[in-house]
Structure 1
Amino acid sequence: MPAALSEWSLRSLPGKRNTEYSLASRAGQACVLAQAAHSVSLWKRSLEVEPAQLERLQFDWWIQALEPRASVTDPLTDDAPARLLLGFAGDESKLSMRNRMQFELAHALTGEMPPYATLMYVWDAKAEPETVVISARSDRIRKIVVGSGMGGKGVWHRHLRDVRADYEKAFGEPAGKLVSMAMMTDGDNTASRTSACYGNILLLDAEGRALDGSLEL
């Protein structure tokens, strides 16, 4: 495994088949190929990035195959060919009792406590870019659509985001420390096959330099 991926590992979800993650190349760019077949899992790493350090996030996706029925706006068809999940620390005393019970259940099932908040960037088959979706599963997960449509397949897409602004837009409060990052490609809800390649994921400071924890393939 390349040194760039040494801190990343597969995270399975209870009762779900795993999406397959492997090294590949598209148009001369090395990437992590995610192939879902009625499946869902994460390719994840831990981080320790203070809010003031992170100025921008730049990431590249190659959408290879997607299910036209899928949309993160509908809990019944909530699948996506590409997602980038950012986990943030925060003041857990602010969590509702429902949230705390959800976190304890997730901890019991997976052995890992969820982050205080998860901001998810997604490619959607239908929803308009910049749509913000609160997850039906937990209001501590909020999604921003950064690309959409069936016509985006087969080329590299580069996204540059202001993470702190996106977090405040989604959650209505300042972001805490960035503690995790994960790729996720899924087809479990629509019982479909979908795939994408994930290229470089760069956490950039105010001078445009890549911070520790960036993925450079």
Structure 2
Amino acid sequence: MLRHTRTTARHLKRTFMAIAASVLSACASLGPVPGAHLDASDWGQATQLPVAGDGVGPGWHERRVGQRQPTLYRPTQHAGRPALLADSHGGDSLVRVRLQAGEPPAGRLHFSWFTDGLNHDADLADTAVDDAVVRVVLQFDGDRGRFAPRDHRMSELVRLITGEPLPYATLVYVWDPVRPVGTVIKHRRTDRIRKLVVQSGTEGLGRWNDFDRDVAADYRHAFDEAPARLEFIALMTDANNTGRHS
């Protein structure tokens, strides 16, 4: 689930809630799904962002992954907070927003998530079972001329399938059942997707967990370079690889 959000040009304030949410695959084929019910909800109105287009306002959209069963996203209230409930029966889809082109690199990111349980059949380092319980995804622009050959091949494949190239860099905040906080997990198929563990183990289940992250510092920790412009923020719950109900 996803909760209260506010932003300025240099300071992003977001709160995300996930009741068993999961992973973004930047290599997936994405197709648009109507998201008007998100924008009109209390949660959508609370997540004011400098979105692409005119003005500032909600701009979240659901996107499916190929022909896979989608995850169901429903705005709701939880413990007094506007929230987005993600319910996945072996599903695989995401909710995403595109930021304005004039936005500078992100400053601080505030988010909260809530889950009742972790998926212990999953492993974030294994692409065959890399479902996750909660995930907040940041996609950055950058110089794709610096891609390694395999990243160029992956980017062209993604463009053919989705109409969009592979993002220059994707930083994913995750809750891992076993790996310690601060661990960086590289995607096996491309070096341009890296997951950062910000919560570990079972401590914190069944309650809100609040985070305040320095996005630029986290990006440097994960990629060993300074970030360029933040283009997209996405949330995703998937359980397609393990077949679990998240």
Task: Give SS of 2:114's match.
Answer: strand
Number of the residue aligned with 2:195: 143
> Please, which of 144, 152, 158 is the counterpart of residue 106 of structure 1?
158
The alignment partner of 1:165 has SS state of: helix
Q: Deviations over 1:52-77 (max 9, x none)?
A: xx321110101134322222123332
Shift of 1:101: 1.6
Cα contact 1:65–1:193 (8 A) shared by 2 = no
Taking structure 2 as the reference length, the TM-score comes to 0.73
How many angstroms does 1:151 deviate by? 4.1
CA distance in 2, matches of 1:104, 1:50: 27
| Alignment partner, residue 233 of structure 2 | 181
Q: Which has the higher contact order (CA 8 A, sep 6+)?
A: 1
Which of 162, 170, 187 is matched with 1:118 structurally? 170
Question: 2: distance between equivalents of 1:28 and 1:152?
Answer: 18
- The residue number in structure 2 matching 1:97 is 149
Tell me if 1:14 matches 2:66.
Answer: yes
SS in 2 for 1:43: strand
SS in 1 for 2:120: coil
User: What secondary structure does 1:18 align onto?
Assistant: coil
Q: Is the 8 A contact 2:154 2:166 kept in 1?
A: no
Match of 2:17 in 1: none
Q: CA deviation at 1:186?
A: 1.4
Q: Is the 8 Å Cα contact of residues 73 and 127 (structure 1) preserved in structure 2? A: no
Give the distance between the partners of 2:171 and 2:236, measured in 1 at CA: 13
Is the Cα–Cα contact under 8 Å of residues 67 and 193 in structure 1 kept in the other structure?
A: no
Shift of 1:25: 1.6
* 1:31 corresponds to: 83
Distance 2:67 2:183 in 1: 30
TM-score of the superposed pair, with normalisation by structure 1: 0.83
CA-based RMSD of the aligned residues comes to 1.6
The question of 1:67 aligning with 2:115 is answered no
- 2:222 equivalent to 1:170: yes
How many residues matched? 192
2:139: which partner in 1? 87
Gaps of 5+ in 2: 1-39, 48-57
Match of residue 128 from structure 2: 76
Q: Quick check: 2:95–2:234 contact (8 Å CA) kept in 1?
A: yes
Asked if 1:130 corresponds to 2:130, the answer is no
Distance 2:207 2:141 in 1: 34
Indicate yes or no: 2:92 matched with 1:50.
no
